[in-house]
Structure 1
């Protein structure tokens, strides 16, 4: 993200991106809620990547440089909020659970102006839209935060491990075996994972695999093939991990 565009006002709107489509790195002076009503959305900052299917939204704080990427045909809903209005008190990008009511509120608030009766905008307005916005913010405050975050390593040794597993999430080698390839002991790598990324190697690898699984599901890959390509020993093992992370099975995955 070397060139970062400055768009002062975070828009409130609905737009569509074809699979593989992207919005280049940019930042707003406002906060923004980013939600994929269909497809899977990846938001990347210098800190890492957040991936969200239709059951999740991503909170992007004001001033955060970020880029979007679509997996599957993406229906993107954007809600801008003034920098002084932070219903969750969050200063880092965060994935939030989106239940049925919050989903409908986001979709309604970001509809085109001719369907809502007033132009959408990050500052809000009077009447019906103001009431809709108030309920939306209230539901946001009640949204559980989700640990669907894949931090980007900065230590050269971790970046080497990252590149190996990003190229093949199904690689099931131990940390010791990976360490032999990158020239470090498993003890050194374990220490780096905890110190630099705030998680253990197994935790990080599971996040990497779940992110890749979401992408494959959005592209229409069968569940059994996703399990194999992402390194799970069986489809049932994959389904169990997926259910714990997202609250439903991959076969019932909405929006993909």
Structure 2
């Protein structure tokens, strides 16, 4: 028996002519249906549950098919440090879907929670590229969970109190575990993690300001000072040698 689809909802197809965003990275999230995309001379089909990262400056065009929905998200190239230098297709799991919705919410409504959603999205898209292998990890469950959260998002700006609450531990216990199991205070461990992540991002030829922002610094001078203390060279000098 043939089933006839409902005719009540009709979203016509729509074509976006070839373009290149000079100052913004584009993330196309296929929420429903499918789209035909041509990016950097290559034809792709984007289906529901997928997203496509298009770096700034890359030429692209696409057609959203009938009864399909695509949500574009924009990330300022000047303030976004990322290792994603080429068009990249990504499967959207439950975590990414939640973050995408939160990002759209903060972009188009007055609901703007005080947290950097973009950093978390980038961490998932990149599959944790800035994982510093030389940094000692704590062994106990609560401290390890905090360390993994900070490895995932070096720019996580939660206070020690908030991190402790998230893993159901006291600040005192958390601090004690980090010192005993890594030889570093949580603050020292966090700074080293941020600097190692910054070094990876600087190798991707992005701006120092964007890197500072990605790893949690709002004061560029403070970032430069801490980076030089850690590596013995400025971020600009480090990037020039790569």
Per the shorter chain, which TM-score range? 0.3 to 0.5
TM-score by length of 2: 0.43
Structure with larger Rg: 2
Indicate the structure whose relative CO is greater, using CA pairs within 8 Å and at least 6 residues apart.
1
Structure 1 length-normalised TM: 0.41
